[in-house]
Structure formats: structure tokens, C-alpha cells
Amino acid sequence: MGEYEGAAAFARHFGGAAEGVWSAPGRVNFIGEHTDYNDGFVLPIALPHRTRVHARRRADDALHLVSTAAPAPASYDLTALRPGAAGAPGGWSAYAAGVAWALRGAGHRVGGAELLIDGDVPPGAGLSSSAALECAVATALRALYGIALTAPETALLAQRAENAFVGVPCGVMDQMASMCCTPGHALFLDTRSLALAQEPLDLAAAGLRLLVIDTGTKHALADGEYAARRRECELAAVLIGVDALRDIESVAQLNVLHDPVLRARARHVVTENARVLRTVRLLRSHRLRETGPLLTASHLSLRDDFAVSCPELDLAVEAALAAGALGARMTGGGFGGSAIALVEAAGAGAVSAAVLRAFAAAGFGAPRLFEAVPSAGAS
């Protein structure tokens, strides 16, 4: 649905016009997976796909939510919002209500509002549709109520909504990507200090393309396994005696871990942080093409050491590499969702065709392929 259809839908549901339209993008992570909740490094880019919020203030404390992707609207009393309470928002509306709750909890004066949500970030594809929704709602409420928050501060409140209200123990990468990315750049983020740098990612100038392969699958164990990985990493850090796995500089330090599973999980995080730093160095010296092997190494580490891949993601990566991709990896939390492949512009069609053929031959549903163009953060 475009912006004009959104405005018409707002008028249909609420009568009259919205005060404005705010939006925030989904993301793909170029490299740096499962490092954000270990105080590590990430390098995401914003997608052109965005979640839009048409919004208007109300004089009372009611929050009325309509999503063009959901069958039923939702309404809440802002003063009564409590995470986990009986009748607390669930499903998509929890992400939006959670943001209002987090803003109010941080002491910001957010009153009632009518929000019409639409957009084109594919849900459940590992492309951060949740963060796009949170950040679009946060940006809308921030503007409507004149709240002075920087983009990183807004991202932290959106993450708080997801952690404490929705109950998903995610790191801060997706919200920071959605708030802080800029067109033509990847966001190099230190998730401990929140220091960030915009790294030019000029794919076209290098004669390259970044393909997204949305496998169309989401395995049921995704949420539980994500939380389990987080706990394993935290336990490994405690056993080694560091604040977070980010503090480990060499895999030799992991030898104190006797449990081979914990050692493998920690090895992924340590080697992945090193891969992010190497990737940034290559980007800064205009050697984008040479990042391909690092992407592939990241996938193998996520598959073998971190055990968050799945047959569809592995096949997407293998088929893309066999057809000439310079590098490929799963992106996001894993257990389904999307992979990315760095390809020569001239070879993009052949790689796409090979991936489609491989999925058909394996009896998997057809993946959806599109090009990732580094785009703007929330506005």
C-alpha cells in the first residue's frame, strides 16, 4: 500500500486526516551476527522497505491502532498498559503499544493517539519488521508529542519495548539500524559504547549487487533457540571471567571452557567480531569485493559453531556460491528468514536463477529474491 492509500485508510478508520506520516525501514545485516547481545560489532544496512505510521494525537489517553496487514484493530488505555498483565496487548499491536509504554516509562509525556500502520517490510523474513514497526511508532509519537530524543536514544527505547513489553530478548542492532542507517552506507556499530560510523557501501561503483534471498520459512524453534544462545553466551563469559564475549581477543582464551558446545558458541562470537573489523577495514580501503570470503566464513561459523542455520538457508548459500557469488551468508537471527549473496552485477541473474532451481530441486517453496540497496533510517 502506498502513502496515499494509507492516508485514505486513515480517513476511513479514524475520519479526517493524520497530522503526519512517519516511517522506518527493515534491514539486512551485512556481517556481525549474534554479536550484539555480546557487546560486539555489527554492520547492518537499511532496506528500501519501510513501515509507515499515519498518526494523529488524541485529547485523552487512548491508543487506537489499525494495521492494514491485520484483520482487527486494537485499542488500549495508555495509563493501564503493563507488560504481561491480563489483557495486555499481544501480536503485532504489542510492539506498537510497547513503544508508548517504554516512552512513558522513561518519563516522556505521551498522550493518546490514532495510528494507521502500513508498509512493505516482509514480516517473518528475518528483515526486522518488528524493529521497523517499533521505530516507526517511536518516531511518530516523538514528533507528535515534541519529545527530544536522539536517534540512538529512540532505538534504545524501542529495544526496551521489545525486551520488557513484548518479551523478546533481542539485542540493539535492529533498532539502531532502523533509526540510524543512511543511504549508500552500512552502519558500523559498537553495541557496547553505541559508537557508530557510516561506512560507504557503494555496490554499484564496485560493479556488485547484494541479493537478498528470502527463504519464506520460519522454523518454530527460532524464539526459544535465540534465548538459549543468549544464555549460553552469557554463561561462557562468566566461566571465562569477562564481562561479555566481546572482551575476548583470541580463541586460545576459550580453552578454559570444557563444554565443547559452549566453546563453539563463544568461538563464533569471537571470530565473528574479528570478521566485522576486517570487513570494515576492507570497505575503508575500497576492497568491497574481498569481503565475499568473510561473508561465507560467517555463514559457516553460524552453521557449525552457533547452530542457528537451517537447510533452506544452507541451500541458499551453497547454490549462490556454486553459481559464482563472491560470498553468501544467512542474515538475522536464523532458523529461517533470509540469506544475502554478494554477486557481480553481470552475474546477478544467473545466481538468482540457480538459487530458484536449487530450491525447486530440493522440494522447497520458491524463495523471494530482491536487491538490497543501502537506504535511509527512520524519518
Residue 37 binds to ligand GAF (criterion: CB under 6 A): yes
Quick one: 115 or 302, whose CB is closer to ligand GAF? 302
Asked if 114 interacts with ligand GAF (CB under 6 A), we say: no
CB of 233 or CB of 326, closer to ligand GAF: 233
Q: Which residues are catalytic?
A: 174
Q: Residue 9 has which C-alpha cell? A: 485508510
- Closer to ligand GAF at the Cβ: 174 or 232? 174
Binding residue for ligand GAF (CB under 6 A) from 6, 98, 333, 377?
333
Say how many C-beta atoms besides its own lie within 10 A of residue 70's C-beta.
13
34-42, 113-121, 249-257, 288-296 -> range binding ligand GAF (CB under 6 A): 34-42
Q: Which of 180, 105, 165, 168 is closest to 141 using CA atoms?
A: 105
Q: Which lies closer to ligand GAF via its Cβ, residue 34 or residue 267?
A: 34
# residues contacting ligand GAF (CB under 6 A): 10
Q: In terms of CB distance, is 115 or 168 closer to ligand GAF?
A: 168
332 binds ligand GAF (CB under 6 A): yes
Asked if 335 touches ligand GAF (CB under 6 A), the answer is: no
Q: How far apart are CA 108 and CA 283, in angstroms?
A: 39
User: What is the separation, in whole angstroms, between the first and last Cα of the chain?
Assistant: 18
Q: Which is nearer to ligand GAF, 83 or 333 (CB)?
A: 333
Q: Minimum Å distance from CB 256 to ligand GAF?
A: 25
d(CA 155, CA 134): 9
DSSP, collapsed to helix, strand or coil, labels residue 47 as strand
Instruction: Tell me: does residue 36 bind ligand GAF (CB under 6 A).
Output: yes
Shortest distance in whole angstroms from residue 204 CB to ligand GAF: 26
Please tell me whether residue 354 binds ligand GAF under the rule CB under 6 A.
no
Residue 45 in the binding site for ligand GAF (CB under 6 A) = no
Angstrom distance (rounded) from CA 309 to CA 147: 40
- The beta-carbon contacts of 227-234 under 8 Å, at least 24 apart in sequence, are 227/169, 229/34, 229/265, 229/306, 229/308, 230/37, 230/169, 232/261, 232/262, 232/265, 233/34, 233/37, 233/38, 233/265, 233/266, 233/269
Q: Give the span between the Cα atoms of 151 and 4, in whole angstroms.
A: 27
Q: Which of 31, 34, 113, 211 binds ligand GAF (CB under 6 A)?
A: 34
Write down the residue that cell numbers 557449525 correspond to: 304
Residue pair 54/10 in contact (Cβ under 8 Å)? The answer is: yes
Q: Sign of torsion, CA 123 185 102 163?
A: positive
Under rule CB under 6 A, residue 33 binds ligand GAF:
yes
User: Based on CB atoms, which residue is closest to ligand GAF, 291 or 352?
Assistant: 291
Smallest separation, CB 37 to ligand GAF (Å): 6
Q: 332 — alpha (psi -120 to 50), left (phi > 0) or beta?
A: left
User: CA torsion sign, 208 to 36 to 90 to 51?
Assistant: negative
In which region does residue 127 sit, left (phi positive, over 0), alpha (psi from -120 to 50) or beta (all else)? alpha
Taking the complex as a whole, how short is the minimal distance between the CB of residue 366 and ligand GAF, in angstroms?
24
Residue 232 touching ligand GAF (CB under 6 A): no
Q: 277-306: which residues touch ligand GAF (CB under 6 A)?
A: none
Smallest distance from the beta carbon of 263 to ligand GAF, in angstroms? 20
Closest approach of Cβ 270 to ligand GAF, in Å?
15
Q: Contacts with ligand GAF in 138-197 (CB under 6 A)?
A: 170-171, 173-174
CB of 34: closest distance to ligand GAF in angstroms?
5
319 counts as binding ligand GAF under rule CB under 6 A: no
Kindly state the greatest CA–CA separation across the chain. 65
Kindly state the smallest distance separating residue 244's Cβ from ligand GAF, in Å: 13
Residue 272 touching ligand GAF (CB under 6 A): no
Which residues partner with 312 through β-bridges? none
Percent of residues in the chain assigned helix, strand, coil, to nearest 5: 45, 25, 30
The residue among 89 and 332 lying less far from ligand GAF, judged by its C-beta, is 332
Using CB under 6 A as the criterion, which residues of the chain lie in contact with ligand GAF when the complex forms?
33-34, 36-37, 170-171, 173-174, 332-333
